[in-house]
Amino acid sequence: MAKRKTLFDDRPIEISELTYVIRQDIASLNTQIASLQSYIRAQKQPQVAAGKGQVEEHNSNVVMMLQSRLADMGMGFKDVLELRTQVSEISMSYSGLRRSMKDLWEHGKCQGIEGMLRDGRRDQDES
């Protein structure tokens, strides 16, 4: 695990491609829901038959529910992408820190740190 380059075994190119596909799907669903909403509005007629208003209300409620669920799903997707970006940035920072420490160690600039760490552990053990 220490030799891994990233925290997760993901493939950034595949993730980018999937992200693009998901965003396109969300946009398409949004367009389809808007079309459905327009269709329902166009179908509204004076309530001639009994129960006609209930059907229109039901149709409108279904479209609102679809919009709400798609919005929730879109926000969840956005949250996941933001979290992944944060984890990726932290992982890159950690990798850079490890490389810096390795470089310092190889050039003999961290020899004093080893002694300080050892002394710090002794102080904790004595407490």
Report the pLDDT averaged over residues 100-121: 62
| Per-residue pLDDT, 17 | 92
CB count, 10 Å around CB of 116? 10
Nearest to 36 by CA among 67, 73, 57: 67
Q: Tokens 């609102």 correspond to what residue?
A: 64
More confident residue, 43 or 34: 34
* Residue pointed to by tokens 């949250």: 79
Q: Is the pLDDT of residue 22 over 80?
A: yes
Give, in order, the Cα–Cα distances in Å from 38 to each of 31, 33, 63. 11, 9, 10
For position 1, what pLDDT does the model report?
39
- Per-residue pLDDT at 111: 57
> What is the pLDDT confidence band of residue 116, given thresholds at 50, 70 and 90?
low
Read off the pLDDT band of 120 (50, 70, 90).
low
Helices (H), ranges, 44-110: 52-106
Q: For residue 94, give Cα distances in angstroms to 7, 35, 101.
A: 10, 48, 10
pLDDT band at 68 (very low <50, low <70, confident <90, very high): very high
Residue 48 has pLDDT above 90, yes or no: no
Rg of the chain (C-alpha set): 29
